[in-house]
Structures are given as structure tokens and as C-alpha cells.
Structure 1
């Protein structure tokens, strides 16, 4: 079970998956667990480590003293939502309407570019994207050399600024963004189809770290296309 004093490490298929490890990471962080990490490189990095060490994948605590160091009743975690990490449909609408000199919402569409442009491969009510959202497919966080490494914060920010739909008034460098955030509140919101791919982007923005609030819209395009189509709120 999960307990509040015990670290949680989440792993997945990394570049070969859908960012599922990011979703679990975000979910636990949203529920109030403060010690959650993602295994860099995923299961493939773990398997490579094992091969490089002759099948030795590390060891777990075995002695009584070692066990005492990590002793904590398993399964005693009590969820307490951190609502700054999650946005709703109404929040997204509000953020779009409240752009001002002291608050900037950078809404990032983590789906593929064809989905941003209108394709509906996963059963959305209609195609398109959230108004003022920029197109930043979640795998754009990785280096372009195919190594599977996450790009530097500066490279990620450069890619965000050059994305389709990106506002023209974004600071030119990541360092400039960090400086600008001292006087302007920059809110990063990621979304996709159902809040999975966007959660990996959320995790990456948190790691950079983004100089402000980072939130995942878990309802994402499935909810947004339905609500905006019916006029729901």
C-alpha cells in the first residue's frame, strides 16, 4: 500500500508509452502525496541497468536496521486534494477570459498535431482545440536525437515558444520567463484527450521547474468538447 512517509517511484514505457507514469505521478501529487518520483527512462532504463550489472537489479532492505529506516505502516495514506494541480472546465474558461498584465495562462495541448488541428481518433464530441491553446505534443519534451533523454529547460521553453498557437508575447528565453514570473503570474495548464499525455507534460514542467503554478486538466478534450458543445458548465 501507499503510506505518507514512504517514497513512491512510478515507472512506465517512457517514450514508447502514452505517458501513463506521468498520470500516476500527477494523480498522487494531486491527492497530496509529497514524495513521488518517476523512474527516468522507464522500464527500458531499468532493464538496461540490470543487463549492465550482470542481472543485479539492486537489492531491497533486508536487515532489521535497514527495515527500521523505512518503517512506516503501509496503506495509511489519506488523500487531501491539492487543487492547484488540477483545473476543471470552468477553470479553463475562466483562465481564457482573465488574461491580463499580471496573470498569463499558457494552455498547452499535449496531443498530436493532427488532433490539435481537428482529428478525432478517440471519440471526442468534435475536433479542434481549446481557444488560445498552443500545440505542444507531449513527446516534444524529449531530445530530438532519439536518446530518450528529456531536453533541457531552455530547449523545452524554446520549443513551447515556437509551437503553433503560441502567444507572441511569451518571454524569449527560459531565464527571461523565470525573471518575468517575479511580477507576472504564469499559469501552465496542460491537457490532451483524457489527461494522461498531459500529465507527463505536467511532470516535466514541474521538473524544469516552471516558475509558477502548473496544473493538469484531467477532463481534457473529452470533457471540453462535450461541455462546450452542449453549453454545459
Structure 2
């Protein structure tokens, strides 16, 4: 099987991997999947792997055995690439979250498709309906966690004000300025965070901008090339997508998976927010 390049692959490379036996996961919402799916794809919902408490709903389950069981049930194998799709323009970056999760749980060959589901359909990948899809073959993947691409709340708090760290708020501008559309306990942004909405790294078709343009947008937002980037959003989905993209481009990046839902639920003095 062809070695898996990077964290993001072109539609052509994705097709090659799928033809060679890679597991294909569809991270789109059930509503979008009702319109059609890629032949051979397996549905995956990011919330199946997160904690049930509202304030922790962006954080991975703590039970490695349960995570292993669920991933094996999706047909995830230790030695096979996992190709993940979503809809870049109509979704939340769910494909990025699934790839970030798999990499964080020890799978070195999880990749996101540039342009997502629409790009593969455009390339001629056959579609079908979920009702006619086959059950996946059970995988053998076993979770082996790494915290290389994740940061927790207390570590982030200790990093505030550091010249070596850039905190990136990947939400919409109204959220950065204080809007709470998703039930956050408080509004605003983490002190010192710069704003760059994650979809500003895509073109009109939902494909990634050229690397030079992405680096330029980071620079314009106030993030120097040498900084470690800590991304956050509401529940860690958009920030995971950003982490995948930036890691793919060679930047040092981590996702604060608890994000604003956890931070805003914390003590006002210890975990402040700026308007």
C-alpha cells in the first residue's frame, strides 16, 4: 500500500488509498448523508467519542478500551490508512476532528481529504444510499494515546502571556466578540487570543488555500512563524480541523479540546474571558 503522505491528501491520492483498501469514514451529519454517500464509506459521528457532560463535550472519552471498541467497530485497522471526508462548506470541520482524534489516539495514517465529499464526487467516486451500505469489517486498532496535538485547560492557562505561544480563536467573529449561540456559560475570547475563522483558510469551493496564503493569513492575524499555535473554538471541532491543517503545513499546533464550553464553565477569576 502507498505510504500515506501528510495529514491532508488530494482527492486523487484519497481515491488511490481507497482503492488499495483504506478505511473510508464519512463524518458529515446524518442530514447531509441522507442525500447520498460514497460507496464503501462508513458513517462516523464525532460525539460518539466525547464526554457526555455539557462543559466537557469537546473532550475525548477517558476510557481507552471503549474508544478502541468503537473504532474497531468502524473498521479501523492498525496498519491501514483511514481516509476521512466531510463537507467543508456545510459542516463544522468534523473530518478534521476525526483525523485529529485518530492521530491523538495513535493512528499514524489518518488523513483528511482536501475539498471533502464534494471533491471526491466531482472526481467520479461512486455514490449510493446509506440504506444499501454494507456493514464494516471489524478492525484491530488499539488506542495508544499521545498528547502531542492536544492541550488541557490548566496548561493553556499557564501559557497565557508567553511569547512562544499564539492562541488562535477559530470561531466566527461574533463569537470572538462575545456572542454565545451554543449555550456557553460566558461569552468572549481567551485573553490574548487572535481571531482567524477557520473557513478563511478555504477557497470558495471548500478546498484549502495554497500554503503560502495560509501562512500569510496567520501572519496577518498576528501569529509569527515560530510560535506554537494553540487553537480553540466552542467544543473543539473547528480547532481540531485547524490543528490538522497547520500540522500538515509544518506548523507546531495543538487543539484545546475543551475549548470555550469548558473554559467558560470555570471560575471567572482563574479562567477569564475578554469581550
Q: Same fold (TM over 0.5)?
A: yes
Deviation, 1:141, is 0.8
Gaps of 5+ in 1: 58-72, 171-176
Decide which of 76, 88, 91 is 2:152's aligned counterpart: 88
Distance 1:230 1:106 in 2: 21
Distance 1:198 1:129 in 2: 14
Structure 2 residue 105 is the aligned partner of structure 1 residue 31 = yes
Distance 1:23 1:56 in 2: 23
Structure 2 residue 194 is the aligned partner of structure 1 residue 153 = no
Distance 1:39 1:149 in 2: 9
Normalized against structure 1, the TM-score is what? 0.75
Decide which of 138, 141, 145 is 2:198's aligned counterpart: 138
Asked if the contact 1:85/1:215 (under 8 Å) is kept, the reply is yes
Normalized against structure 2, the TM-score is what? 0.64
CA RMSD of aligned residues (A): 2.1
Deviation, 1:154, is 2.1
Distance 1:130 1:29 in 2: 26
Across the two proteins, how many residue pairs are aligned to each other? Answer: 189
List, as ranges, runs of 4+ consecutive aligned residues in structure 1 with deviation greater than 3 Å. Answer: none
Asked if the contact 1:202/1:214 (under 8 Å) is kept, the reply is yes
Decide which of 195, 210, 216 is 2:255's aligned counterpart: 216
2:173 aligns to what? 113
Deviation, 1:231, is 4.3
Asked if the contact 1:125/1:229 (under 8 Å) is kept, the reply is no
Distance 1:24 1:190 in 2: 16
DSSP 3-state at the match of 1:90 = helix
Deviation, 1:230, is 7.1
Distance 1:93 1:221 in 2: 13
Largest Rg, 1 or 2: 1
Structure 2 residue 183 is the aligned partner of structure 1 residue 123 = yes
- Per-residue Cα deviation, 1:93-124 (whole angstroms, up to 9, x for no partner): 11114x24xxx111110100110000000011
Distance 1:108 1:75 in 2: 36
Distance 1:230 1:132 in 2: 16
Gaps of 5+ in 2: 1-74, 129-136
